[in-house]
């Protein structure tokens, strides 16, 4: 039985261990063909061995040499009993990571049931694979969202974007049920307001990873936030509609620990939820129909502010119900889903643009945004 020699140039190794007399008699084409056969035999042996190290090397060789025919065996090599979250990263963790990276690199269509159990420990990689056929895997992706299992905003928006692009059943209801905050901007002129900006989210540090000795280099995948000007070969665009998301792949080897920091900075969630719903509504200029859009208030004194806020909430509620009916007619909501969606606003002053701020803006009661309040 051949001994595994852990170096990158697997094909060169196979050539070197061949008897010189045999190599001299072979034509270059025959030699290449024999090396291919031996390489595939070695990959099959490594996969059959089943040890974490061997599975990792088999996955590495499949990617390096484009051996897509081993995709079914790689799927079978997934260790669903890897262990709970929080355990020290073991050889089994890195073996699964190598297999998932290989399946992503080989663009495999992996059944959701084969990888869902790995989500807590390999969230971005599992989502990458599920999202390759978001329509077929919509239930699995929605379950991650509804269970609030996403580990970063970037991951949440990546899942949502893929479901929105295929208009997956249930995604509109999920978006419409998100907690809504109505932002009010006050000024003497009542200047038109837009979706509030600002940064929300933080950089997410990953690692440090330390791959066990005798393991191959292993690829890790991460989603990154929507940041203009960060597109690069190592941070390409994953999708650009309805929101822009980047993807990153970095490689960790056994030469030493390595960590990375990925960008999870986003504007307020309301901007992205509104853009997704407007995208589905095919009316991108009607972002203001989504309740999280900011509204202006023309300041006319404290005696009128209550009525003005009530009028704003009434208009928002009408726009929201109109949006819900349009989405229902388009078949993006079922009647049961529409009946279960009720607008419950939190109203707050986002900006005080008044020149005279002698009187403080009133605090808006929590109950004021509710439909039954008057």
pLDDT tens for each residue of 212-254: 889 999 998 888 765 534 444 555 666 766 777 777 888 887 6
Q: Summarize the confidence of residues 87-115 as an average pLDDT.
A: 90
28 vs 196, higher pLDDT:
28
Look at the alpha carbons of 145, 148, 123, 143 in this order and tell me if their dihedral is positive or negative.
negative
- pLDDT digits over 5-29, tens only? 433 444 444 444 455 554 456 787 7
Tell me, what's the pLDDT at 198? 43
Tell me, what's the pLDDT at 6? 37
**SS percent in the chain: helix, strand, coil, step 5:** 45, 15, 40
State pTM to two decimals.
0.77
Residue % of the chain over a pLDDT of 90: 36
Q: Give the β-pairing of 237-239 and 245-252.
A: antiparallel
Tell me, what's the pLDDT at 179? 77
Confidence class for position 53, pLDDT limits 50, 70, 90: very high
Tell me, what's the pLDDT at 300? 92
- Residue 3 — left, alpha, or beta (φ > 0 → left; ψ -120 to 50 → alpha)? beta
The DSSP element (H or E) to which 193 belongs, if any, is none
CA 363 to chain centre: 37
Q: Summarize the confidence of residues 82-88 as an average pLDDT.
A: 60
How far is the C-alpha of 115 from the C-alpha of 104, rounded, in Å?
12
83: tokens are: 């262990």
When the pLDDT of each residue in the chain is averaged and rounded to a whole number, the result is 79
Tell me, what's the pLDDT at 265? 53
């Amino acid at each position: 039985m051949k001994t595994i020699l852990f170096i990158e140039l697997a094909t060169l190794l196979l050539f070197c261990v061949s008897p010189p007399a045999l190599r001299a008699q072979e034509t270059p084409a025959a030699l290449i063909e024999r090396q291919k056969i031996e390489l595939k035999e070695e990959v099959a042996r490594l996969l059959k061995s089943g040890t974490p190290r061997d599975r990792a090397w088999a996955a590495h060789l499949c990617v390096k040499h484009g051996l897509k025919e081993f995709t079914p065996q790689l799927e079978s090599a997934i260790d669903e009993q890897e262990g709970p979250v929080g355990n020290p990263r073991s050889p089994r963790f890195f073996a699964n990571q190598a297999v998932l990276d290989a399946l992503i690199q080989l663009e495999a269509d992996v059944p959701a049931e084969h990888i869902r159990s790995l989500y807590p420990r390999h969230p971005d990689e599992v989502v990458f694979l599920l999202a390759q056929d978001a329509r077929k895997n919509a239930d699995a992706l929605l379950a991650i969202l509804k269970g609030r299992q996403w580990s970063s905003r970037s991951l949440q928006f990546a899942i949502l974007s893929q479901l929105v692009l295929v208009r997956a059943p249930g995604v509109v209801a999920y978006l419409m049920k998100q907690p809504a905050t109505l932002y009010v901007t006050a000024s003497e002129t009542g200047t038109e307001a837009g979706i509030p900006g600002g940064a929300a989210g933080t950089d997410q540090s990953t690692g440090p990873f330390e791959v066990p000795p005798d393991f191959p280099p292993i690829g890790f995948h991460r989603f990154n936030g929507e940041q203009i000007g960060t597109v690069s070969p190592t941070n390409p665009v994953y999708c650009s509609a309805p929101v822009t998301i980047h993807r990153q792949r970095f490689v960790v080897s056994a030469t030493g620990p390595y960590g990375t920091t990925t960008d999870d900075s986003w504007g307020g969630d309301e901007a992205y939820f509104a853009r997704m719903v407007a995208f589905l509504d095919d009316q991108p200029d009607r972002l203001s129909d989504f309740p999280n859009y900011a509204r202006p208030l023309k300041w006319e004194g404290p005696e009128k502010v209550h009525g003005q806020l009530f009028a704003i909430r009434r208009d928002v509620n009408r726009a929201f119900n109109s949006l819900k009916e349009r989405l229902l007619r388009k078949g993006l909501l079922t009647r049961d889903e529409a009946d279960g969606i009720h607008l419950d606003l939190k109203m707050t002053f986002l900006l005080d643009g008044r020149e005279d701020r002698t009187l403080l803006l009133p605090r808006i009661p929590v109950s004021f945004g509710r439909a039954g309040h008057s």
